[in-house]
Amino acid sequence: VDRRGFLRASAGLGGVALLGGCVLPEGFGPPVYVPPSDGTPFTLGVASGLHSASEVVLWTRVEPSLADGASTLGWTIASDPTMETVVASGTVEVSAASDHTAKVLVGGLQPDRSYWYRFGIAGAQSPLGRARTLPAAGAVTPLRLAFCSCQNWQSGWYNAWEGIAAEDLDAVVFLGDYIYESAGSAGIGDVRRDPVGESATLETYRAKYRLYRSDPSLRRAHAAHPLVPVWDDHEFKDNFNRYDVEVEDPARAQAGFRAWFEYMPVWPIDGFRIHRSLRWGSVGELFLLDTRQYRDIQADGHEAHGSFVGAGRTIRTAAAPDRSILGASQRAWLLDGLEGAQGDGVAWKLVGNQVMISPLRIADLDEPIFRQLDPTRPRHDGIYLNMDDWDSYLWERDLLLAHLHDRKIGDVGVLTGDVHSFWQASVRVDFDDLGSPFVLNEFVGGSISSTGPGILGDGARSIEPAPPAWSPPFRYVDFRRNGYGVVSVTPDRMTVAYRVCDVKFPGSPVLTSVRFLVNRGDPVPTVEYLNP
């Protein structure tokens, strides 16, 4: 009996069957995952965050029911994985005020090095984790990051995290949808059940992080590599914008953002601000965006913003000046930061971005024949597929693209999540002028487990050829598989590989589907197809 048959048989019998750490409950439906415990209070493992050339962030959580009432947590960091050469240690208090999570900012470290750390409480030790410092200013050391997003608990097994754990990396960039606040459909194709349901309060957001972080593959990957996360919408609620944060649901937004900071190895810099940048000497700088909490209402309106397609009046709204996905303050920070990196001779400018910046335009109406019919047409008019992405903010995207061109900011790679599929495109400064120069490359890195167009099965493969015909075209799409991206950067070259896997069965292998090679100064990648 193969695994699929076994699962079906077990569910059909309505009994309870143990299968590699998961339990099929009475009746039909996907199994509820029971987190394995080694008996220590460190049930959610450990994580570290990149911070600076001399500092790292260490994270863990203590399960209070296993801690014998202890609240003083010890931490130790060493320069070797055997923990023989301890370079710093200390204690931190844990309490219910932060759901028994703990974060430590360790300073006084050497640049561009790995460190190993662990926590201890009430005689128990946490798993060993690895942290890293950034290189010193001006250093020339290659950089290697995984980037990923969208890990719906119910939709798939975290095979991608097993792949990430085994990679040789400086860090993992997570581009949002670390949790899904929704109750979920428990629908066809789900592999496990989310017992938390809808999250809308601090306690239910925390429960969601506890559930997701209990996955052993996820914990292995976090122990192996520093994490560099930003949120997208599902850490709070579907397709949110600043109206939701400021007017519609401020208390819920505060709860969602607070729980994120409790569970992420990110040292707060200013309230709930998450946009920040990390620089790897003169080789690369990574700008991490927040395209959610400051964004104006999507162009198709607040009530409609669960929808996707936009045309006509919606595009007129999208093109209106001053409409922003970043907010004025973050926009100024990004434009200045990109220009500063270029001025400082930083070779590669990487942008960690939630929603697609390449236009998803399925019909181009910014053509002379259409303009004759209606001369008032907005610039870039057309029919767009996803009004929740940068296509709702046409003025601001044009401003960013023009800034890259005008200030001669080259070698820009945008790393993107959100759409549960893989894409690649080179974007021109004016995407309606095919003679205008390319100013950035976008790499959309699939999803860890969330269901994408692949739910169409073979239908997904049949619609894949369509995007190259869109305006502008895409160089590569994969609607069928889950996975993540790996970006490797040297002073002369950026390489982006897409790793793909099946998520319906635990333990499915991870393959490289395609690899893009971008030489410095030449924005057009060459493509190697390995498992297309």
Task: State yes or no: residue 94 binds Fe ion (CB under 5 A).
Answer: no
The burial of 90, by beta-carbon neighbours within 10 Å (0-12 exposed, 13-18 middle, 19 or more buried), is given as exposed
Tell me the window of 32-40, 142-150, 253-261, 471-479 that interacts with Fe ion (CB under 5 A).
142-150
Please state the closest distance from residue 530 (CB atom) to Fe ion, in A. 26
* Least distance between Fe ion and beta carbon 150 (Å): 3
- The total of other beta-carbon atoms located within 10 Å of residue 38's CB is 9
The DSSP code for 10 is H
Binding segment for Fe ion (CB under 5 A), chosen from 143-151, 250-258, 301-309, 464-472, is 143-151
Q: Count other C-beta atoms under 10 Å from residue 176's C-beta.
A: 26
Cα 403 to Cα 393: distance, rounded to the nearest angstrom: 16
Write down the least CB distance from residue 180 to Fe ion, Å: 7
Task: Give the interface segment with Fe ion, choosing from 150-158, 195-203, 248-256, 300-308 (CB under 5 A).
Answer: 150-158
Burial class (CB in 10 A: 0-12, 13-18, 19+), 114: middle
Q: Work out whether strand 124-125 and strand 101-106 pair parallel, antiparallel, or are unpaired.
A: unpaired
Q: Within 420-439, which residues bind Fe ion (CB under 5 A)?
A: none
Tell me which of 47, 56, 146, 150 binds Fe ion, using CB under 5 A: 150
Rank residues 173 and 224 by Cβ distance to Fe ion and give the closer one.
173
Residue closer to Fe ion, measured from CB, 177 or 391 = 177
Question: Amino acid letter at 56?
Answer: V
Is the distance from CB of 512 to CB of 497 less than 8 angstroms? yes
The nearest distance, CB 232 to Fe ion, in angstroms, is: 7
Residue number with CB closer to Fe ion (50 or 355) = 355
Of residues 150 and 266, the one with the C-beta less far from Fe ion: 150
For Fe ion, give the closer residue by CB, 119 or 153.
153
- Kindly identify the residues of this chain, within the stretch 277-306, that bind Fe ion according to CB under 5 A: none
Instruction: Give the Cα separation of 471 and 425 in Å (integer).
Output: 11
- CB of residue 151 vs Fe ion: minimum separation in angstroms? 8
Helix, strand or coil, per DSSP, at residue 375: coil
Binds Fe ion by CB under 5 A, chosen from 449, 450, 508, 513:
450
Minimum Å gap between C-beta 247 and Fe ion is 24
Long-range contacts formed by 359-364: CB under 8 A, 24+ apart = 359/384, 359/390, 359/391, 359/427, 359/431, 359/471, 359/472, 360/384, 360/385, 360/386, 360/389, 360/391, 360/470, 361/385, 361/391, 361/470, 361/471, 361/472, 362/470, 363/311, 363/471, 364/432, 364/471
Minimum distance of Fe ion from residue 165's CB (angstroms): 21
> Which region, judged by CB under 5 A, interacts with Fe ion, from 46-54, 258-266, 323-331, 449-457?
449-457
The bridge status of strand 56-61 relative to strand 101-106 is: antiparallel
Min separation Cβ 260 and Fe ion, Å: 15
Closer to Fe ion at the Cβ: 178 or 431?
178
**82, 56, 54, 451: which is closest to 267 by C-alpha?**
56
Closer CB to Fe ion, 227 or 404, in the complex: 227
| 255 vs 207: CA distance, rounded Å | 12
Contact string (CB under 5 A) for Fe ion, positions 161-190, x = contact? ----------------x-------------
For residue 154, the minimal CB distance to Fe ion (Å) is 12
Cβ atoms within 10 Å of 462's Cβ, excluding its own: 11
Closest approach, Cβ 289 to Fe ion, in A, equals 16
By CB under 5 A, how many residues form the interface with Fe ion?
3
Distance between CA atoms of 448 and 418, rounded to whole angstroms? 11
Alpha helices (H) along 98-233: 159-166, 202-213, 216-224
- Confirm if 401 and 440 have CB atoms less than 8 A apart: yes
39/20 Cα distance (integer angstroms): 18
Structure tokens at 232: 């997208």
Candidates 26-34, 147-155, 282-290, 367-375; binding stretch for Fe ion (CB under 5 A): 147-155
Which of these ranges, 38-46, 146-154, 283-291, 461-469, lies near Fe ion under the rule CB under 5 A? 146-154
Closer of 175 and 278 to Fe ion (Cβ): 175
CA–CA dist 19, 21 (Å, integer): 6
Looking at the Cβ atoms of 196 and 429, the one nearer to Fe ion is: 196
Rounded least distance, CB 195 to Fe ion, Å: 20
* Nearest residue (CB) to Fe ion, 148 versus 346: 148
- Closer of 422 and 438 to Fe ion (Cβ): 422
Contacts with Fe ion by CB under 5 A lie at 150, 177, 450
